[in-house]
Amino acid sequence: MEIYNFTGTIDGEKVSLSDFKDKVVIVVNTASKCGFTPQYKDLQKLYDKYKAQGLEILGFPCNQFAEQEPGNNNEIKEFCEINYGVTFPIFDKIDVKGSNAHPLFKYLTSKAPFEGFDKQHAIGKILYAMLSEKFPADLVGDSVKWNFTKFLVNRDGEIVKRFEPTVDPLDMEDEIKKIL
């Protein structure tokens, strides 16, 4: 199985991920009111730099993490365009964990398990501490742990690597170049 078997919606219209076949894809769950929200800027930089070589970035807004994505789909897209110049596809808001998680994210997390946060990284240490204190159940299993978890997918639709929120998109560049 590969990601091409899944669909999402943009502006209420069904979009098949097979539309991105033969592309290198980053699938990322996003939020507009998160400490990681500035990652939109670096995701857009990667998109601008590598789109012509076949990179696609697919943003999936989610309000499951401390309700940091409260807006409706139009507000989210407008926020991304105005504040970060986002031109890559932003899908309609979904759940990425739990019983109502979108099937794509169930698949992604089954193929790219959670390996922990880099606690040597200051933000990784802070995120782990916050989750341990406020949302300890979220640390169990392989589900998405927070906003801006990124999944790198090769041209065959197979997950190459999972990057936790503390990994800046530009730090993914070497991995992206290997599979472009």
Give the pLDDT confidence of 72-112 residue by residue, as tens digits. 999 999 999 999 999 999 999 999 999 999 999 999 999 99
Collect all residues with Cβ–Cβ distance below 8 Å to 121 and sequence separation of at least 6. 166
| 1 has a pLDDT exceeding 70 | no
Domain extents for the chain? 3-179
Active-site position among 10, 15, 34, 123: 34
pTM of the model: 0.96
CATH architecture of the domain 3-179 equals 3-Layer(aba) Sandwich (3.40)
Q: Which pLDDT belongs to residue 154?
A: 97
Q: Which pLDDT belongs to residue 2?
A: 87
Please tell me the least confidently modeled range out of 11-20, 133-142, 146-155: 133-142
62 is a catalytic site residue: no
CB atoms within 10 A of CB 26: 23
Q: Which pLDDT belongs to residue 90?
A: 98
pLDDT digits (tens, 9 = 90+) for 6-39: 999 999 999 999 999 999 999 999 999 999 999 9
